[in-house]
Amino acid sequence: MIEHTRQRMIEHTRQRMIEHTRRRMNGRTDWAAHLVLCLGALLFLLPIWLVLVGATLEPAAIARGEFSLIPRLQGLGVYASVLTEGSPGAGPVWRMLLVSAGMALAIACGKIVISVLSAYAVAFFRFPFRMAAFWVIFITLMLPVEVRIIPTYTVMSDLGLINTFPGLTVPLIASATATLLFRQVFLAVPDELVEAARMDGAGPWRFLRDILLPVSAANIAALFVILFVYGWNQYLWPLLVATDPKLDTIVIGIVKMIGTETQTEWNRVMATAVLALVPPVGVVILMQRWFVKGLTEGDK
C-alpha cells in the first residue's frame, strides 16, 4: 500500500516538473495556435448556434430560407411544445428522451457490470477454459452491430424480443472492449496489494468491493461516459428492433421528423435536436477530465 502511494507521489512530482519546464519554453503567446483553435471551436459552435437560433424561428420562414442569426425570443415556446406534444411522425420529446436515457443508462451500467465481473474472473482466477472464454468474448470485437444486423434481428424475433425494452438494450450490452479494458486495469494492480488483502483474510468478493472497485473508480467513470454516449447515439439497432413508436429514441425521432412526407417543421426538428444533445454533451463536459484519461488509456 505504502509503496503504491509513494510511486504515485513520485509520478506526480515528475509531471509537475515537466509542466513547469514546458510552460517556460513556450512563454510567448502563439497567435497561430490561437487562430487554429478559434477556427476549430467555431467549426463546432457555428452549427450548434444555427440550431439554437433555428429552433426559435417560424417554420415558414425557415422553409423560405429566411434564416436569421439572432434568436426570436417569442419562439422559445417551441421547446415546451415539442417536449409535451410531439410532432407529425414522432411522439412527444419527453418520452423519447426517457427512452434514450433508459437505453443509454441500461447499456452503460450493464456493460460495466458484466465486463467488470468477467474481467475480474479472467484476471484473478484460474479456471478451465479460461483462455477459451476470453477468446470467445474477444471475438465480439470483430462483429459490430452493423454487420450482423439482419441475423441478430432474426434471433431477436425468435426470442420474441422485438419491440421490447430488453430487445433494445440487451444485445448491445455484451462488450469485448470494456472487458479488455478492465482486464488491463486489473492486471496493473500490484501483486502486493492482492497479497496484502489475502493476508487480511479478504475473500474474492470483499477484495472486489473494497479494493479493486475503488482503485479503478476513475476508469469506471471514464468508461461510463463513453458507453453512455455510445448508448445514447445508437441509431441502426433501435431503428430495426423497435418499430413501436412508444420505443422511439430521440435520435430515431429526429430522423423520422425529417423523413415524413408532410412538410418538415424545421423549428421543431431543431428544438428536438437541442434537447437531444443536452444529456450526452452534459455528461461529456461534466466528466471531461476522467473521460479523456479513460479514453486514451483504455486503448493502450
Partner 1 sequence: MERRTIFPGWKLPAALVLPQLALTVVFFLWPAGQAIWSSLTQADPFGIRTQFVGLDNFTDLFADPLYLDSIARSVFFSAAVAALSMGVALALAVAADREISFRGAYRVLLVWPYAIAPAMAAVLWILLLHPQIGLVGRWLNGIGVAWDYKLNGAQAMLVVILASAWKQISYNFIFFLAGLQSIPRGVIEAARMDGAKGFFRFRTVVLPLLMPTVFFLLVVNLVYASFDTFGTIQALTGGGPGKATETLVVKVYRDGVVNLDVGSSSAQSVVLMLGVIALTALQFRFLGRRSDSG
Partner 2 sequence: MKRRTMLAGVAASAAASAVAPAARAQADKTKIVFWHAMTGANGEEINRIARDFNAAQAAVELEPVFKGSYPETLTAAIAAWRAGQAPHVVQVFEVGTGSMLAAGPAVKQVWQLIQETGAKIDPNAYLPAVRGYYSLADGRLASAPLNSSTPVMWYNKNAFETAGLDPEKPPQTWQEFVIAARVLKEKWASKGQDQVASTSAWLTWVQLETYSAIHNVPYATKADGFGGLDAELKLNGPAQVKHLQRLLDMAKEGTFKYAGRDGAPDPLFYTGQAAIGFGSSSGRADIVRNAKFKWAAAVLPYDPEVAQGPSELDTLIDSVDVDTLSLRETFAFLKKLKTADRRPGPVNSIIGGASLWTMTAPNRTPAEYKAVAGFLEFIGRPDQVALYHQHTGYVPVTQAGYELSKQQGYYEKTPGADVAIKSLTRGTVTENSKGLRLGRLPEIRNIIYEEVEKALQGQQGAQQALDSAVTRGNVVLRAFEKSVKS
Whether 178 contacts 263, CB under 8 Å: no
The whole-angstrom separation of Cα 149 and Cα 279 is 27
Instruction: Please give the residues from 151 up to 180 whose contact with partner 2 meets the rule CB under 8 A.
Output: 153-154, 156-158, 160, 162-163
Name the segment binding partner 2 (CB under 8 A); options: 32-40, 61-69, 124-132, 174-182: 61-69
* Shortest spacing between CB 260 and partner 2, in angstroms: 5
3-class state of residue 294 by DSSP: helix
* Shortest spacing between CB 157 and partner 1, in angstroms: 10
The yes or no reply on residue 269 touching partner 1 (CB under 8 A) is yes
The whole-angstrom separation of Cα 190 and Cα 1 is 9
Instruction: Please give the residues from 53 up to 82 whose contact with partner 1 meets the rule CB under 8 A.
Output: 54, 62-63, 65, 67
How does DSSP assign 232-261, residue by residue? HT--HHHHHH--SGGG--HHHHHHHHHH-S
Instruction: Please give the residues from 21 up to 50 whose contact with partner 1 meets the rule CB under 8 A.
Output: 21-23, 25-27, 29-30, 32-34, 36-37, 40-41, 43-45, 47-48, 50
Beta bridge partners of 90: 87
Taking residue 227's Cβ as centre, other Cβ atoms within 10 Å add up to: 24
The yes or no reply on residue 260 touching partner 2 (CB under 8 A) is yes
Contacts (Cβ under 8 Å, ≥6 apart) of 292: none
Work out the angle between the directed axes of helices 176-187 and 130-139 (0-180°, nearest 10): 130
3-class state of residue 56 by DSSP: coil
Which one of residues 4, 58, 94, 152 is an interface residue with partner 1 (CB under 8 A)?
Answer: 152
Closest CA to 220 of 174, 263, 178: 178
The yes or no reply on residue 115 touching partner 1 (CB under 8 A) is yes
Binding mask 72-111 for partner 2 (x = CB under 8 A): ----------------xx----------------------
* Shortest spacing between CB 161 and partner 2, in angstroms: 9
Report the residue number, 40 or 88, with the smaller CB distance to partner 2: 88
243 binds, among partner 1, partner 2, none (CB under 5 to 8 A by kind): partner 2
Grid coordinates given for 203:
475473500
The yes or no reply on residue 151 touching partner 1 (CB under 8 A) is yes
Which one of residues 68, 84, 243, 296 is an interface residue with partner 2 (CB under 8 A)?
Answer: 243
Which one of residues 10, 76, 217, 292 is an interface residue with partner 1 (CB under 8 A)?
Answer: 292
* Shortest spacing between CB 214 and partner 1, in angstroms: 18
3-class state of residue 244 by DSSP: coil
Instruction: Please give the residues from 1 up to 20 whose contact with partner 1 meets the rule CB under 8 A.
Output: 18
Name the segment binding partner 1 (CB under 8 A); options: 73-81, 87-95, 170-178, 212-220: 170-178
Which one of residues 245, 279, 284, 287 is an interface residue with partner 2 (CB under 8 A)?
Answer: 245
The whole-angstrom separation of Cα 107 and Cα 173 is 5
Report the residue number, 70 or 150, with the smaller CB distance to partner 1: 150
CA angle, corner 153, sides to 148 and 156, nearest 5?
Answer: 125
Contacts (Cβ under 8 Å, ≥6 apart) of 155: none
